A and B are shown apart, each in its own frame.
Chain A
Amino acid sequence: MVTERFTKDHEWVRLDGGIATVGITDHAQQQLGDVVFVELPEVGRKVAASEAVAVVESVKAASDVFSPIAGEVMEVNGDVVDRPALVNEDAEDKAWFFKLKIAEGVALDALMDRAAYEAFVKEGS
């Protein structure tokens, strides 16, 4: 079963078994505008929750991407590095950033579900 959660920093995370896939939300890409550069973490890197692990740059500015949960980077998406505009086209699916292998028992309880995230975005705009 896939559990989908969102952070206040506008990342999404999908947990399927022990694997968490992370990207930035569609709202985030809209706010950023044209994405021209993405920097992803190295495979094998151990990351903590809320650690800055990737960078996404629009024409205007660079923004950090934080890991929603702790884990070990097991795969990164070379497609978004080769073609950063993919983030604008399909932020919540094809433009995933990295996959984490997470330790047993790590929960996503502290994060928002889609309804809560959408309310959070609405509130902030």
Chain B
Amino acid sequence: MSAASASTQPLRRTPLYAQHVARGAKMVPFAGYEMPVHYPPGILKEHLHTRAQAGLFDVSHMGQAMLIGPKHATTAAALEALLPADICNLQPGQQRYSQLLNDSGGIIDDLMVTRPHSESDDGRLLLIVNAARKEVDYAHIAAHLPAGVRLLPGPERALLALQGPAAAHILGQLCPQAPRLGFMQAAGVRVGSVDCHVSRSGYTGEDGFEISVPAEDAEALWRLLLKDEAVQPIGLGARDTLRLEAGLCLYGHDIDETTSPVEAALAWSMQKRRRSEGGFPGAKRIQAELASGPKRKRVGIRPDGRTPARDGTPILAPLGGHLGVITSGSFGPSVGAPIAMGYVAADRTEDGTPVSLMVRGKALTATLAPLPFVPHRYARIR
């Protein structure tokens, strides 16, 4: 048995730290925070519970920032200069997934952009970024803003995610407006007696919500949601297996400053107008990749046996020859077998392509598979 390494940085805590400890969570360092990796039931049960009923996640470590300008068109144009999604045509109360890009089209971070529903918030955009990239993102954005648009990083807010097929019913009992939101829609609402900003989105492939609250209200909301017997707290371990089964990228693993959105199979997140007009960092590379295909592409991988193939595992052609590398790999609790994602040469990305994975010096057979591994069950917009 080999031991894990420790970090020397002092760790930060979310407003829900005491709640995790009280529930017997195993706390681990993650992106500079002390976070629950699992609770007493463990990753497998937590994962399956989320797919069967509803899981509650503390994701307060993520960065929440506000981009503030005089009116929507100005703020949206400022953000469009940094990412390839259509923000100008984002409607009030609509949310969009995108990627901050560097000048070579590599991904600095992936993020959620929301245009607040309320007219009084015109000119504002809410950004939710990865915990480990907060400082990098904020410095990058601030350095590239035109006069009149400013970034207000991290107001003291917590972020909770309620995910799973029972999420809409559960939140609906506390907040009748929530189930009326379509997938990727957002609104300012009251949940119980707490003022929140709720979006219908998440990182599990299930229907669900992300709920932003002032830090001082986080415990009250956490306890309120856990009063429902169908809701269990879920740690970062199950969050990772849920997102992997859903085929969703983890920054620093599946995407980084060298991968483009086209390589990462995220072209769907670049709307038509942006693809043709360009005007975002790395547009030249990305437009060329859209026209003639990228050199490599993110794919799903199913090992044939029961051995999980982890991040960094080389992917070979069946008769040898380097094809690429695995960027996320684990056991998929709902799939009941090991699953992985990784990059392979673009001429070898077809589903069903046999490959070899080098695990501990042995070549294991595997097959390229469609993503997601578990079908998404997002709420259809009504």
Contact = CB atoms under 8 A, between A and B. Distances in A.
A57 B43 CA distance: 13
Contacts of A62: 308, 310
A75 to B, nearest CB: 21
B292 interface: no
Nearest to A85: B44
B44 A63 contact: no
Interface in B75-91: none
Contacts of B120: none
A119 interface: no
Interface string A45-60: 0000000000111111
Nearest to A84: B306
Contacts of A118: none
A37 B26 CA distance: 21
Nearest to A60: B237
Majority SS at the chain B contact face? mixed
A64 B38 contact: no
A55 B360 CA distance: 10
Interface in A57-85: 57-66
A37 B331 contact: yes
Contact of A34 (B1, B2, B44, B310): B44
A108 interface: no
Contacts of B42: 33-34
B307 interface: yes
Contacts of B1: 9-11, 24, 28, 56, 63-66
Interface residue tally on A, bucketed by range? 20 to 34
A13 interface: no
A59 B2 contact: no
A42 to B, nearest CB: 12
Contacts of B333: 59
Nearest to B26: A33
A103 to B, nearest CB: 25
A65 B1 CA distance: 5
A84 B221 CA distance: 38
A37 B43 contact: no
A63 B2 contact: yes
Contacts of A56: 1
Nearest to B337: A36
A9 B310 CA distance: 22
A39 interface: yes
A82 to B, nearest CB: 10
B44 A59 contact: yes
Which of B26, B330, B333 has most A Cβ within 10 Å?
B330
A17 to B, nearest CB: 26
Nearest to B44: A34
12 contacts: A9-B2, A34-B42, A34-B44, A57-B308, A58-B43, A59-B43, A59-B237, A59-B330, A60-B43, A62-B310, A63-B2, A64-B1
Given A34-B43, A36-B338, 5 more contacts: A36-B308, A36-B331, A57-B331, A61-B310, A63-B2
